[in-house]
């Protein structure tokens, strides 16, 4: 199937990268990085060139999300997965409740569940279902995932939580694009390799005063052992000085800053509107074609960052994906590997253009209808 299919040149997207992470880093950013020559890469992260870049990123995020002035932008190395453990170790007092609907939200739950002193509770739905997040007075942290990347489900409503409860959101693949009022969230964290079109390895945690206070309180508790690399006070102190505790990838900051400059020109609301337009295009296409259907049944939970589209079993999606990949026309639109569905998973991230998504949908249909 598809071996002899000829791709019409007018349907080839201008950039083949539609993966859900790492995402498309614009080629002009790569060129801009090369132009920094000897002045940035390979210089110390304790000196002005890099510290000013980190500061610009922190300020760019504060502006983009319209953060309250008492919120902190904290950064460190290790990516979002690292935070699954360090949030458990350094931010939960006794009990966390996890709303899970896919691989990443479950992984976070499992990380807390392994910490001996945490009572971690999982509230879950089957893969493909959306989940409603509720306050729980018996927990000191509520954990949810803004965009469950494995299934393409978003959280649409956030509860008001009790005074001593931290509302924590893993925003890794939806952060910056899926609607969320950060002034209602205590801990909003992500790696910048998705919507923010940078590379992996960094984590960013936007913290309310309540979350910051909790972090400092637990860090001061000598009876709890937390490895230095996961110490929240150390991360906060360094971030307040526009640094990370240990050596970061400077190019990651550079790409993130370039994206933030671009995204701040459009604004958070503008980016949300544009991603809704992309989502309408892709889900509309899936509803129109009789061999496609959106995987997420309930429309309000369908992601505006990562679209999951089921395909009729008669069509060999793996063969089509292989063909498009071998021709360097389209990369990484396979379903999340553990989901094991005959499915396309297509990122709708800010740096993926509407015009390219239009071409992609037309190309897939053309291939299926003409093979």
Residue nearer to ligand PLP on the CB measure, 150 or 242:
150
For 22, half-sphere exposure in the C-beta direction (CA atoms, 13 angstrom radius) is: 15
Residue 172 in the binding site for ligand PLP (CB under 6 A): yes
Write out the binding residues for ligand PLP, residues 178-197 only, by CB under 6 A: 191
DSSP track, 303-368: -SSEEEEEE-TTS-HHHHHHHHHHTTS-B--BPPTTT--SEEEEE--TTS-HHHHHHHHHHHHHHH
Helices (H) and strands (E) in the chain, counts: 10, 12
Residue 21 in the binding site for ligand PLP (CB under 6 A): yes
Residue 149 in the binding site for ligand PLP (CB under 6 A): yes
Q: Which stretch binds ligand PLP (CB under 6 A): 23-31, 169-177, 254-262, 312-320?
A: 169-177
Q: Which residues of 162-175 are buried (b: 16+ CB within 10 A; e: fewer)?
A: eeebbbbbbbbbbb
CB of 2 to ligand PLP, least distance (A): 28
Residue nearer to ligand PLP on the CB measure, 303 or 361:
303
Residue 106 in the binding site for ligand PLP (CB under 6 A): no
Residue 104 in the binding site for ligand PLP (CB under 6 A): yes
Residue nearer to ligand PLP on the CB measure, 105 or 272:
105
CB of 170 to ligand PLP, least distance (A): 5
Spatial contact of 112 and 239, defined as CB atoms under 8 Å apart: no
- Cβ neighbours of residue 265 under 8 Å, at least 6 residues apart? none
Give CA angle at 310 (14, 152), nearest 5°. 75
Residue nearer to ligand PLP on the CB measure, 24 or 363:
24
Residue 19 in the binding site for ligand PLP (CB under 6 A): no
Q: Which stretch binds ligand PLP (CB under 6 A): 116-124, 165-173, 311-319, 335-343?
A: 165-173
Residue 145 in the binding site for ligand PLP (CB under 6 A): yes
**Which residue of 200, 232, 244, 324 would you call a contact of ligand PLP, by CB under 6 A?**
200
For residue 145, give the 3-state DSSP assignment: strand
DSSP letter, residue 22: S
Q: Which stretch binds ligand PLP (CB under 6 A): 41-49, 77-85, 230-238, 257-265?
A: 77-85
Residue 199 in the binding site for ligand PLP (CB under 6 A): no
Q: What is the C-alpha to C-alpha distance for residues 346 and 360, in angstroms, rounded to an integer?
A: 9
**Which residue of 80, 180, 282, 347 would you call a contact of ligand PLP, by CB under 6 A?**
80
Comparing CA positions, the residue from 152, 155, 153 lying closest to residue 167 is 155
- How far CA 82 is from CA of 77, 168, 280, in Å, comes to 8, 15, 34
**Which residue of 58, 106, 173, 208 would you call a contact of ligand PLP, by CB under 6 A?**
173
Residues that bind ligand PLP (CB under 6 A): 21, 79-81, 104, 145, 149, 170, 172-173, 191, 200
């Amino acid at each position: 199937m598809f071996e002899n299919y000829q791709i019409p040149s007018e349907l080839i997207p201008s950039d083949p990268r539609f993966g859900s992470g790492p995402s498309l880093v614009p080629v002009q950013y790569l060129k801009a990085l090369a132009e920094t020559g000897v002045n940035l890469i390979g210089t110390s992260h304790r000196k002005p060139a890099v510290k000013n870049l980190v500061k610009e990123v922190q300020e760019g995020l504060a502006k983009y999300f319209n953060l309250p002035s008492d919120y902190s932008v904290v950064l460190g190395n290790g990516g979002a997965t690292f935070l699954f453990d360090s949030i458990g170790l350094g931010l939960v007092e006794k009990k966390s409740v996890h709303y899970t609907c896919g691989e990443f939200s479950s992984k976070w739950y499992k990380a807390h569940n392994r910490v001996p002193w945490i009572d971690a509770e999982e509230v879950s739905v089957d893969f493909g279902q959306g989940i409603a997040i509720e306050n729980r007075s018996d927990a000191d942290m509520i954990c949810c995932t803004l965009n469950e990347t494995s299934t393409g489900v978003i959280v649409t409503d956030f509860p008001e939580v009790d005074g001593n409860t931290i509302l924590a959101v893993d925003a890794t693949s939806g952060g910056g694009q899926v609607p969320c009022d950060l002034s209602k969230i205590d801990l909003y964290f992500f790696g910048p390799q998705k919507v923010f079109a940078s590379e992996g390895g960094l984590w960013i945690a936007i913290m309310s005063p309540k979350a910051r206070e909790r972090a400092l309180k637990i860090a001061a508790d000598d009876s709890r052992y937390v490895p230095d690399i996961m110490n929240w006070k150390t991360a906060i102190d360094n971030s307040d000085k526009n640094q990370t505790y240990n050596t970061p990838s400077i190019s990651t900051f550079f790409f993130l800053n370039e994206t933030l400059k671009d995204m701040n020109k459009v604004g958070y609301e503008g980016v949300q509107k544009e991603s809704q337009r992309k989502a309408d295009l892709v889900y509309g296409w899936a509803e129109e074609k009789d061999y496609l259907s959106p995987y997420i049944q309930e429309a309000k939970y369908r992601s505006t960052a990562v679209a999951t589209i089921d395909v009729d079993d008669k069509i060999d999606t793996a063969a089509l994906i292989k063909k498009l990949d071998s021709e360097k026309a389209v990369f990484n639109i396979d379903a999340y590997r553990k989901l094991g569905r005959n499915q396309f998973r297509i990122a709708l991230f800010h740096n993926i253009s509407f015009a390219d998504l239009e071409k992609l949908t037309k190309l897939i249909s053309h291939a299926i209808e003409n093979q």
